[in-house]
Chains A and B, each alone.
Chain A
Amino acid sequence: ETWDMPLAYPATNFHSENAEQFAECVREGTDGEIDIVTHPNGSLFSGDDIKRAVQTGQAPIGERLISAHANENPLFGVDSIPFLATSYEESDKLWEAARDKLEAVLEDQNLVYVYAVPWPPQGFYFKKEVNSVDDMQGIKFRAYNAATARIAELAGMAPVQIEAAELSQALATGVVESFISSGSTGVDSKVWESLTHFYDVQAWLPRNVVFVNKDAWDGLDEAAQQAITECGDQIAAEGTSKSEELSGGYLETLAENGMTVSPPSDQLREELAAFGKTMTDEWLESAGEDGKAIIDAYRAQ
């Protein structure tokens, strides 16, 4: 059986490469019974549509940046609470604490969780040296969702709404002077042409989650399900270490092209941690009992 797998990112992105390896692994593990064909670069369904497409059976399997769906259920945004889990290690712990609850939420939506791989951590791009929140006042900051808008608000920056496709132009013309994203975005959009400083604050590590339509899953025999689960575990582990490895490389590339790449100053780190506290509390208000259980479990580790 052929399973078409829509992916949002270009074929050369490491998430898409992971998915291709996953497809290969499943093909071997099921003796060719399940033939996953990846469709990268949003060529089948665009990123925004992949979850709904898999939910409703328009595609049997797919991958999505799960925090994009935080409007739907705050639990989807657990990996993207700013300044809560600020390293690969912490992010893994947070994900482990949240995984059961997330799997249950996905199952309610007719989806079976297979694996998740984090993006490199999010850092601040600026046009000047920034050592404290005071230095951020009034800077035009790209806000693309509720959480980034809130960061702008807390830091006293001016939120500017710019679609991803228009980011490069907006940076070049000064419509935007700052944004938060991973090192890979900076490298892909040659951000050094417009901006000068990158602060590796590791604000959060958003994850791409791969899920299968539940009806398609239930139609498999146990051996096939087993094979998919095992491949998922394997790719999750490999993908995470690849992400970490790439992350260092991206920061080097930024530096090689003349950007000042550094960790945040101690003062900035403390101020951001305070934002983290505030935003975690706000998230907890919206995420209810399940959210509280996740954060408690994370903090207990």
Chain B
Amino acid sequence: MPTAARAIRRSLDAVYDGAGALAALCLLAILIVISAQVVARWTGVPFPGSSQYAGYLMAAASFLAFAHTLNRGAHIRVNLFLTALGQRRFWGELWCLVIASAASTYLAWFAVRAVYWSWRLGDVSQGQDATPLWIAQTPMAVGAVILAVCFIDNLVTLLLAGRDNIRPDLSQQSRAE
């Protein structure tokens, strides 16, 4: 592989895994927010908007982890047909990646548009947090764009190298020994 291609490969993987790590941090933040909400109730100190913040973090955690989850083979699919294809599996994978690239690009486009419209309309949360929604929704749009990039990346890799980047997580396999 030429150096430039390797550099692109490395930086794309870094983006997917970096977003995945961010998603993990969001989960940790959900834990902290919910715990703080419980403690706030015990102590009588108000924590306005806590459940909204937990919700935003939930959305961020999901979308930011999409691409990383894909390349670890953790997004589920029906494998029967692909397995049945045997030698011709390439064409099945190609079909799936074309559909998925189109669908995820569509999702990414409208996720970005939703953020734009939240900003244009000045839409704010109806909860006590009163957060401008474009701020809360930005991680969702970022995650959706990364997912689309990841699918297209897989499609291109499949076409160039005959095999996509999706590898089931080794640690998941070893646990199943």
Contacts and interface: CB of A to CB of B under 8 A. Distances in A.
A and B touch in the complex (CB under 8 A): yes
B116 to A, nearest CB: 12
B46 A52 contact: no
Q: Which 7 residue pairs of A and B lie closest in terms of their CB atoms, listed nearest first?
A: A71-B130, A158-B44, A71-B124, A68-B126, A159-B46, A72-B124, A160-B41
Interface string B32-47: 0000010001001011
Nearest to B40: A161
Interface in B106-133: 117, 121-128, 130
Contact of A52 (B37, B123, B127, B128): B123
A69 B133 CA distance: 13
Contacts of A163: 51
Q: How large is the interface on A (under 10, 10 to 19, 20 to 34, 35 or more residues)?
A: 20 to 34
Contact of A71 (B37, B41, B121, B126): B126
A146 B48 CA distance: 9
A212 to B, nearest CB: 17
A56 B124 contact: no
Contacts of A55: 121
Nearest to B125: A71
Contacts of A273: none
B50 interface: yes
A149 interface: yes
A296 interface: no
Interface residues on B, range: 10 to 19
Contact of A161 (B50, B123, B125): B50
A56 B47 CA distance: 33
Given A56-B117, A163-B51, A143 B128 contact: yes
Contact of A69 (B37, B50, B126): B126
A146 B121 contact: no
Contacts, number: 44
Contacts of A109: 121
A130 interface: no
A161 B37 contact: yes
Contacts of A138: 44
Nearest to A48: B126
Contacts of B50: 161
A161 B48 contact: yes
Interface in B90-111: none
B41 A175 contact: yes
Nearest to A159: B46
A145 interface: yes
A161 B51 contact: yes
A160 B123 CA distance: 25
Nearest to A55: B121
B31 to A, nearest CB: 17
Given A72-B122, A109-B121, A145 B128 contact: yes
A198 B130 CA distance: 30
Interface string A152-187: 000000111101000000000001000000000000
A5 B71 CA distance: 41
Contacts of A140: 41
B124 A149 contact: no
B121 A52 contact: yes
Contacts of A52: 121, 123
Contacts of A69: 126
B130 A161 contact: no
Of A68, A72, A149, which is in contact with the most chain B CB atoms at under 10 Å from its CB? A72
A161 B128 contact: yes
Interface centre among B50, B122, B126 (most CB of A within 10 A): B126
Contacts of A72: 122-124
15 contacts: A48-B126, A55-B121, A56-B117, A68-B126, A71-B125, A72-B122, A72-B123, A72-B124, A138-B44, A140-B41, A143-B46, A143-B48, A149-B48, A158-B44, A161-B46
Contacts of A160: 41
